């Protein structure tokens, strides 16, 4: 298993190179640049800006410079400055040597900030939102699917599947305001907007305190974001469990005289979760990267806004950084799923 | 010997898209203590459905047992509460299924699955149940049984898996073992080993066996009596020797003729029975075998025969005496 994980991590780097090259190429192929706004700047200033950000160099040079800044660690005997050129996601000191690694560059649009600042301050919030949404999706989706399957073609099945269809068909942009209107405006139980965690974060993304002050902000947005996914999980769980209860080994379990409860919990559920687990990886990645609307509706200072705006602004470093990061997410999420998969199904062995 | 299980008029149907499938149409038989009863017949004739109906393991819907009784120890299995039948399954009446690959749960260890009946029926704790499971695996011929308790089903070969399945079925020393084509999915050499194993276990444990197969050859040396099924009916019933030497139903004769024989010196082609098994969408008013029967007379098309006594312990559902080709008197 260890070797398998190592191999997958090497593969991750290959993916990142491919993604970075393609994104870089596409980004520069699209007409327009970071500094042509509606209110045109004087040519002189644009030239200076482009020089400052090395945009006047050949594309290949720009790309190699980017790759070097991001992937190659830099060493120095003196402390790095706090200028954007010396910014990095990882800065530390080993035996008198200063090391910095992964400088994703400055944001062209918000000039006081670097991409790393966005990663440090906005990204954790989006991850928290995505994780909570995934949790909501699982907590709502799996029981609904299980009930629907066990009570197939009864009123419970119909109600569960109606809830699921409702879930997929109501977009966040409607569900969000409705939730706010009910729980914030009318009942006044929850705050309408905002988010309850601030840097520093545990492991770079977990909130340090998880009390009510965190959760009161983290109920409606994850529900709004995760409901559609919960519907997908519910339908998949239902289909999978319905398939599994027809399997021979479930009949064997009954023939052994197991209580119906044990037949389901011990012999059917674990098997039926295998296909459900496989979609959790891509689903998590989609939730973390798809937070834009939710963050906008609930006024959450997350990453979604930067990602979307960076594209219209041609904010090259932010585009590159976020897309690379999302690629990392996708690969890591799928890796975790594969590991879970091997845990659930002993027939699967890596190496 | 006393009857252990008496099945009377068992009738099971499936509601399908094509219509009502009459899978079992009034099957009656008795199983005596310690006896081995063979049930033979070609695919789809209702062998599995009849025994699954007894244990109430038919998927409902689409299936439903619409009539009949199955008396075991003075109580009707078909009328018991769910809890009562559950306590009988796996402890007093056990099953071994055809496909040892799909009949085990792929995500649970063999030890867990083999020990399970002891835990639920006899209140063993996990450690004791595992110890007994290892003994049982040893008994069915699994080498290094104790170490293999932690293995998963896919780590065993087909034949080994079927041995494990037998161990699992016998771990509570049931009165009745129902084996539903336990050798069909296996290699011929392995088939013989499994049959030998079951014979040995029968002698050691003394359970009665219902052995389902579509291969008359296999049960020749195993069964005491044989029921031949066709189209959801039992069409002949006789002690095994009697059935082989004096078959009375044209279908049984056809089955026997399709067996390869050791004593045959000329390599003549094996006979097959012409025609297809019946579609069970309706209960015919005629003999279900008549469309494929070369001996059929007019009466066969007008009246479905019930079992007629033709010998001491021999009954058959046929209007015609295959010896003379004329209607029985
Ligand atoms: N779940 C089901 N739904 C619909 N029809 C069924 C179902 N199970 C069995 N049947 C029908 O019942 C009939 C008898 O099936 P059964 O499984 O008892 O045959 P069998 O004699 O055991 O054959 P085989 O040798 O192939 O195991 C078949 O015609 C089959 O189509
Ligand atoms: Mg069968």
Q: Which domains does chain A carry? A: 115-312 (1.10.3720.10)
**Residue A249 and residue B117: Cβ atoms within 8 Å?**
no
Decide: residue A242, CB within 10 A, 0-12 exposed, 13-18 middle, 19+ buried: middle
Cα B24 to averaged position of ligand 1 atoms, centre (Å):
9
B328 exposure class (CB count in 10 Å sphere: 0-12, 13-18, 19+) = middle
Task: Return residues with CB closer than 5 A to ligand 2 (ion).
Answer: B 48
Report CA B328 to chain centroid distance, whole Å: 30
Closest residue to B105, CB basis, from A249, A257, A344: A249
- Interior/surface letters B1-20, b for 16+ CB within 10 angstroms, e for the rest: eeebbebbebbbbbeeeeeb
Q: How far is CA B105 from the centre of its chain?
A: 22
Question: Which of the residue ranges A33-37, A175-179, A319-323, A332-336 would you say has the lowest mean pLDDT?
Answer: A33-37
Whole-number Å distance between alpha carbons of B197 and B218: 13
Ligand 1 atom with least separation from CA of B49: 18
Contact A249 B86 (CB under 8 A): no
Q: Which residue lies with its CA nearest to atom 4 of ligand 1?
A: B14
Mean pLDDT of A339-348: 84
Q: In what order do the strands lie in the sheet with B19-32?
A: B19-32, B3-16, B63-72, B75-76
Three-class DSSP category at B123: coil
Residue with tokens 């995934």: A134
DSSP-derived 3-state class of residue B133: helix
Nearest CA in chain A to B97: A252
Calculate helix-pair angle for B158-170, B110-122, nearest 10 degrees.
10
CA of B311 to the centre of ligand 2 (A): 29
Tell which atom from ligand 1 comes closest to the C-alpha of B46.
Answer: 18
Chain A nearest-CA distance from B94, in A, is 7
Whether A256 has its CB under 8 Å from any CB of chain B: the answer is yes
Q: What is the mean pLDDT of residues A248-276?
A: 92
- Cβ contact, residue pair B107, A344, below 8 Å: yes
Please check whether residue A268 is in contact with residue B100, taking contact to mean a CB–CB distance below 8 angstroms. Answer: no
Pairing of strands B233-239, B3-16: unpaired
User: Where residue A101 falls among pLDDT bands split at 50, 70, 90?
Assistant: confident
- Does A197 score more than 90 pLDDT? no
Residue A38: the pLDDT is: 58
Query: pTM of the prediction?
Result: 0.83
Q: What is the 3-class SS of chain A, one letter each residue?
A: CHHHHHHHHHHHHHHHHHHHHHHHHHHHHCCCCCCCCCCCCCHHHHHHHHHHCCCCCCHHHHHHHHHHHHHCCEEECCCCCCCHHHCCCEEEEECCEEEEECCCCECCCCCCCEHHHHHHHCHHHHHHHHHHHHHHHHHHHHHHHHHHHHCCCCHHHHHHHHHHHHHHHCCHHHHHHHHHHHHHHHCCCCCCCCCCCCCCCECCCECCCCCHHHHCCCCHHHHHHHHHHHHHHHHHHHHHHHHHCCCHHHHHHHHCCCCHHHHHHHHHHHHHHHHHHHHHHHHHHHHHHCCHHHHHHCCCCCCHHHHHHHHHCCCHHHHHHHHHHHHHHHHHHHHHHHHHHHHHCCCCCCC
Which of B11, B40, B42, B44 to probe ligand 1 with, by most ligand atoms within 8 A of CB?
B44
DSSP structural state of residue B278: P
pLDDT of amino acid A294: 92
Cβ <8 Å between A257 and B154: no
- Alpha-carbon separation of residue B113 from A145, B129, B149, B177 (angstroms): 26, 10, 9, 18
Q: Are A195 and A217 in contact (CB under 8 A)?
A: yes
pLDDT higher at A350 or B277: A350
Contact between A222 and A129 under an 8 Å Cβ cutoff? The reply is yes
Hey, which of B47, B61, B179, B276 would you mutate to test ligand 1's pocket, going by the most ligand atoms within 8 Å of its Cβ?
B47
Take atom 20 of ligand 1 and give the residue whose Cα is closest.
Answer: B44
Q: Is B114 in the pocket of ligand 1 (CB under 6 A)?
A: no
Model confidence at A295, pLDDT cuts 50, 70, 90, reads very high
Any idea which of A78-82, A147-151, A301-305 has the lowest mean pLDDT?
A: A78-82
Contact status, residue B255 vs residue B40, Cβ threshold 8 Å:
yes
Q: Which pLDDT value is given to residue A108?
A: 84
**A261 Cβ under 8 Å from any chain B Cβ:** no
> Ligand 1 centre and the CA of A240: distance in Å?
24
- The rounded percent of chain A whose pLDDT value lies above 70 is 99
The reply to whether ligand 1 has any atom less than 6 angstroms from the CB of B23 is: yes
Q: Is B64 strand, coil or helix?
A: strand
d(C-alpha A57, C-alpha A51), whole Å: 8
Count other Cβ atoms within 10 Å, centred on residue B43.
10
CA-to-CA distance for A40 and A23, rounded, in angstroms?
26
DSSP B268: P
Burial (CB count within 10 angstroms: exposed 0-12, middle 13-18, buried 19+), residue A333: buried
Give the integer Cα–Cα distance in Å for A331 and A8: 8
- Helix or strand or coil: residue B284? coil
Residue A186: other Cβ atoms inside 10 A: 9
Pocket test of ligand 1: the residue of B12, B15, B23 to mutate, having most ligand atoms within 8 Å of its CB, is B23
- Ligand 1 centroid – CA B50 distance (Å): 9
Percent of chain A with pLDDT over 90: 31
Interface test with A, best of B15, B106, B171 (most A CBs within 10 A): B106
Query: What's residue A105's pLDDT?
Result: 87
By Cβ distance, the residue of B121, B152, B168 closest to A347 is B152
With beta carbons less than 8 A apart as the criterion, state whether B213 and B68 touch: no
Residue B307 CB burial class (10 angstroms; 0-12, 13-18, ≥19): middle
10-residue averages of pLDDT along chain B (329 residues) = 86 87 89 92 89 91 88 91 92 90 92 93 90 90 89 90 91 92 82 86 90 86 91 91 88 81 55 65 78 79 82 85 77
Query: For ligand 1, what atom is nearest to the CA of residue B45?
Result: 21
Q: What is the mean pLDDT of residues A246-250?
A: 92
Side-chain half-sphere exposure of A250, counting CA atoms within 13 A: 19
Longest distance between any two alpha carbons in chain B, whole Å: 66
């Amino acid at each position: 298993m260890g070797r398998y994980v190592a191999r997958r991590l090497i593969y991750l780097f290959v993916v990142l190179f491919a993604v970075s090259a393609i994104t870089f190429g596409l980004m520069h192929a699209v007409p327009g640049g970071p500094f042509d706004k509606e209110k045109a700047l004087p040519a002189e200033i644009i030239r200076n800006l482009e020089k400052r950000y090395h945009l006047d160099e050949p594309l290949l040079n720009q790309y190699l410079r980017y790759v070097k800044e991001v992937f190659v660690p830099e060493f120095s005997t003196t402390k790095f400055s706090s200028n954007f050129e010396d910014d990095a996601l990882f800065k530390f000191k080993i035996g008198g040597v200063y090391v910095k690694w992964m400088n994703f560059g400055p944001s062209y649009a918000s000039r006081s900030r670097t991409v790393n600042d966005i990663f440090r301050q906005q990204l954790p919030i989006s991850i928290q939102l995505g994780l909570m949404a995934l949790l909501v999706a699982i907590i709502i989706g799996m029981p609904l699917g299980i009930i629907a399957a066990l009570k197939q073609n009864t009123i419970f099945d119909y109600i569960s599947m109606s809830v699921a269809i409702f879930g997929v068909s109501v977009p966040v942009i409607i569900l969000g305001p409705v939730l706010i209107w009910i729980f914030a405006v009318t009942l006044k139980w929850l705050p309408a907007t905002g988010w309850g965690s601030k840097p520093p974060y545990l492991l770079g993304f977990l909130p340090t305190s998880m009390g009510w002050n965190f959760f009161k902000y983290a109920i409606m947005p994850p529900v709004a974001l995760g409901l559609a996914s919960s519907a997908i999980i519910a339908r998949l769980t239902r289909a999978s469990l319905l398939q599994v209860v027809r399997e021979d080994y479930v009949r064997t379990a009954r023939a052994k005289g197991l209580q119906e409860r044990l037949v389901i919990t011990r012999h059917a559920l674990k098997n039926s979760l295998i296909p459900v687990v496989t979609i959790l990886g891509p689903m998590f990645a989609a939730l973390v990267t798809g937070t834009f609307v939710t963050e906008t509706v609930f006024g959450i200072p997350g990453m979604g806004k930067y990602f979307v705006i960076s594209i219209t602004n041609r904010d090259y470093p932010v585009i590159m950084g976020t897309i690379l990061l999302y690629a990392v997410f996708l690969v890591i999420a799928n890796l975790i799923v594969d590991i879970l998969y091997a845990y659930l199904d002993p027939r699967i062995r890596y190496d | 010997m006393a009857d252990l299980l008496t099945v009377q008029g068992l009738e099971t149907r499936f509601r399908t898209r094509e219509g009502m499938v009459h899978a079992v149409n009034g099957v009656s038989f008795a199983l005596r203590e310690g006896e081995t009863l063979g049930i033979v017949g070609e695919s789809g004739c209702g062998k599995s459905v009849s025994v699954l109906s007894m244990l109430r393991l038919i998927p409902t819907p689409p299936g439903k047992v619409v009539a009949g009784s199955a008396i075991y120890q003075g109580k009707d299995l078909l009328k018991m509460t769910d809890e009562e039948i559950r306590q009988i399954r796996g402890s007093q009446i056990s099953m071994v299924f055809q496909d040892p690959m799909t009949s085990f749960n792929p995500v649970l260890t063999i030890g867990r699955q083999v020990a399970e009946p002891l835990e639920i029926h006899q209140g063993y704790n996990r450690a004791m149940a595992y110890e007994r499971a290892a003994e049982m695996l040893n008994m069915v011929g699994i080498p290094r049984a104790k170490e293999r308790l932690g293995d998963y089903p896919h780590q065993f070969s087909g034949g080994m898996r079927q041995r494990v399945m037998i161990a699992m079925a016998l771990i509570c020393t049931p009165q009745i073992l129902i084996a539903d084509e336990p050798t069909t999915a296996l290699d011929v050499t392995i088939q013989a080993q499994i049959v030998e194993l079951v014979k040995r276990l029968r002698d050691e444990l003394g359970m009665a066996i219902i052995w389902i197969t579509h291969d008359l050859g296999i049960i020749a040396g195993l069964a005491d009596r044989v029921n031949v099924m066709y189209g959801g009916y039992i069409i002949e019933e006789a002690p095994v020797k009697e059935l082989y030497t004096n078959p009375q139903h044209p279908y049984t004769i056809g089955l026997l003729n399709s067996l390869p024989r050791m004593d045959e010196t000329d390599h003549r082609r094996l006979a097959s029975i012409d025609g297809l098994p019946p579609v069970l969408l309706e209960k015919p008013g005629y003999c279900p075998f008549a469309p494929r029967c070369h001996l059929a007379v007019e009466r066969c098309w007008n009246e479905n025969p019930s079992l007629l006594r033709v010998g001491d312990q021999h009954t058959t559902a046929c209007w015609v005496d295959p010896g003379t080709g004329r209607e029985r008197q």
